[in-house]
Amino acid sequence: VASLPAAPLAKPGSVRPFPSVRDSLRLPVAGSLAVGFGERPSGDIDGRARGIYMETRPGAQVVAPYDGQVAFAGRFRRYGLLLIIEHDGRYHSLLSGLERIDAVVGQWVLAGEPVGVMGQRGGGLGGDTDGGNTDGGSAAGRGAPRLYYELRLMRFAKTAVAAAICAVVLLPAGAQAQESDEEIFRQLKVFADVFERVRAEYVEEVGDEQLIEAAIQGMLSDLDPHSSYLDADSFKDMQVQTRGEFGGLGIEVTMENGVVKVVSPIDDTPAFRAGIEAGDLITHIDGEPIVGLDLSEAVDLMRGPVGTSISVTVRRGDEEPFDVTIERDIITVQSVRSRVEGDIGYLRVTAFNEQTMPGVEEAVAGFKEELGDAFGGIVLDLRNNPGGLLDQAVSVSDAFLERGEIVSTRGRYEEDSSRYNARAGDLLEGLPMVVLINGGSASASEIVAGALQDHRRAIVMGTKSFGKGSVQTVMPLGSAGAMRLTTARYYTPSGRSIQAKGIDPDIIVERARLEAIEGPERRSEADLRGRLEAEEAPLEGEAPDAEGAAEEPQDEALVDYQLARALDLLRGLTLFSQRS
């Protein structure tokens, strides 16, 4: 998933409980009262106002009326930009008519803290003095800007998300939208009826939170395969993965016969230094048996604050089980691996997290130092790379491009579109590149492959990629977790959308195994009787070492046919360049 960084969730220590006396609330904007509570607004609004309408000066600053957490911030249908601040789980402030919102979902705000700006013209919800403008405060309206402000009590909302939905649906509506809003309200009433029947009549008792989370998950997962709801634990795990570091032991593990099996210790980590080996079985953690736990639960037990110790019971082969005490430390997830293949640098990127770009820079610097003038280029291996952070994909592409567009994203609204361009500077200084992809290369991997292919900076080799051309934004939902929502499609520099199409390699190389075939020994010129002997021609300068250039690790070629072909191609390009 090419996801964007999540919004901050830190709760200020000075947040106060919601007051019982409403008179202590401040107005969210300076201005004059245009329509009071219970009055009938002008324009095409039906019914009486459940809030107030403030007429403001152009560009006026809007502030939070009281301490709380942002439950909704964004555009909603005909209402334009809408901001909802949750104060204590039941009371919510609704603000509509802003031209710009300066807060994000999940952010804590204090009374008087700026949260947005009014437009230059036009009315907020409820129309302007000329009547007819109900666009939620867009700059296209006439007359002075208006802000709609309502304090609402949500008696039945269980989460900030539910409260936001109820608040949005129950906003005052114009005559043109009244029928549509009533239909949404009827559908929500059906949902509420189902919710109450399940609570009251299901064969087993089910918690309210579980039901609501399941409903949210169903709503999001039905949109597309990549939109989803993340509960608090899943959200925390996702942040760990994208951050690329955590407090732990430093082992890659799997589950085998009810115990944890060590796949491999990560170099220079506490587990590595403690002597933990690949194939070790961990049967107990701090004296408690692992049997009965799933892998995620066992991993959670092994992770913890840096500097704390943990005792694990290890069973190794036929030896007697023994205990190892390990002190937790910061573990950096290694998303970049590299090695030298002759005169070629091999760069394997397994995911795009916050450690990826520093790892790429370090690997390329290592190639230059080890190979010097013999450095002939790199193979960038993105096979089975599922993606990750968009900004890291852009940074890796930028590292090998001198100029031009890397990727563009286009959302539902034109103002949500973005373009990312390369800055001058190529880490390889023009040396040739081959990018390996396959059906497991997705999202951020395809952004990199597509950018380097469109700019003819690299030859893309392998098989067609996965074809995920969408961007997901992670939106925190307070203590409830977060939602991952598809918010944009991305396009390669040439304007290609690879959604459900994938990146087609320049050279198709299927996965295969290369094996040497034993055959009868053939005769050569050197075996003929009376042959002429070779004479060495005098050479000007020193010719390239063709034998050395063709040398490659035979074991690697037999195991990874696609990599062997990539190395052959790069060496051929290097040899051709030297001869020309």
Residue 404 pLDDT > 70, yes or no? yes
Contacts 24+ apart (CB under 8 A), 139-144: 139/99, 144/55, 144/56, 144/57, 144/58
Residue 403 pLDDT > 60, yes or no? yes
Model pTM greater than 0.85?
A: no
Q: What is the rounded distance in angstroms from the CA atom of residue 206 to the CA atom of residue 463?
A: 47
When the candidates are 3.30.590.10, 3.20.20.210, 2.70.70.10, 3.90.79.10, the CATH number that belongs to 3-11+27-197 is 2.70.70.10
Give the DSSP per-residue string, 108-133: EE-TT-EEEEE-SSS--TT--TTS--
Q: What is the rounded distance in angstroms from the CA atom of residue 407 to the CA atom of residue 426?
A: 17
Choice between 507 and 89, residue whose per-residue pLDDT is larger: 507
What is the three-class DSSP state of 218? Answer: helix
**Active-site residue, 261 included:** no
Residues in the chain: 580
Mean predicted confidence (pLDDT) in 225-251: 82
**Active-site residue, 468 included:** yes
Mean predicted confidence (pLDDT) in 415-429: 93
Q: What is the rounded distance in angstroms from the CA atom of residue 321 to the CA atom of residue 254?
A: 19
- pLDDT classification of 175: cutoffs 50, 70, 90: very low
Beta strand residue intervals within 48-185, DSSP E: 52-56, 61-63, 68-75, 81-86, 91-101, 108-109, 114-118, 146-153
Choice between 12 and 191, residue whose per-residue pLDDT is larger: 191
Residue 412 pLDDT > 80, yes or no? yes
Q: What angle do CA 336, 337, 338 make, to 5 degrees?
A: 125
Catalytic pick from 227, 441, 443, 470? 443
What does the DSSP 8-state code read for residue 43?
A: S
Residue 104: both structure tokens together: 């994000």
Mean predicted confidence (pLDDT) in 406-415: 90
The helix, strand and coil proportions of the chain, stated in percent and rounded to the nearest 5, come to 30, 25, 45
Of the candidates 55, 73, 42, 3, which has an alpha carbon nearest to the alpha carbon of residue 389? 3
Cα distances (Å, whole numbers) of residue 498 to 135, 210, 382, 407, 434? 35, 37, 16, 12, 20
Residue 560: both structure tokens together: 């990874």
Tens of pLDDT along 319-328? 999 999 999 9
Tens of pLDDT along 105-120? 888 999 999 999 998 8
**Active-site residue, 454 included:** yes
Segment among 34-48, 164-178, 270-284, 460-474 with least mean pLDDT: 164-178
Tens of pLDDT along 207-221? 988 998 899 999 998
Mean predicted confidence (pLDDT) in 23-29: 82
Q: What is the rounded distance in angstroms from the CA atom of residue 407 to the CA atom of residue 394?
A: 8
Residue 15 pLDDT > 70, yes or no? no
User: Which regions of the chain carry the CATH code 2.70.70.10?
Assistant: 3-11+27-197
Give the number of other CB atoms < 10 A from CB of residue 558: 13
When the candidates are 2.30.42.10, 3.30.70.330, 2.60.120.10, 1.10.3720.10, the CATH number that belongs to 245-332 is 2.30.42.10
Contact present, 295 and 253 (Cβ < 8 Å): yes
Give the number of other CB atoms < 10 A from CB of residue 325: 10
Catalytic pick from 3, 329, 391, 468? 468
Contact present, 118 and 58 (Cβ < 8 Å): yes
pLDDT the model gives residue 263: 75
Contact present, 434 and 442 (Cβ < 8 Å): no
- Beta strand 378-381 with 344-349 is parallel
Residue 367: both structure tokens together: 């190639």
* Bridge partners for 389 per DSSP: 3
Catalytic pick from 135, 280, 329, 454? 454
User: Which regions of the chain carry the CATH code 2.30.42.10?
Assistant: 245-332
What is the three-class DSSP state of 391? Answer: helix
Of the ranges 235-249, 262-276, 438-452, 503-517, the best mean pLDDT one? 438-452
- pLDDT classification of 165: cutoffs 50, 70, 90: low
Of the candidates 64, 84, 75, which has an alpha carbon nearest to the alpha carbon of residue 14? 64
- pLDDT classification of 155: cutoffs 50, 70, 90: low
Residue type, 178: Q
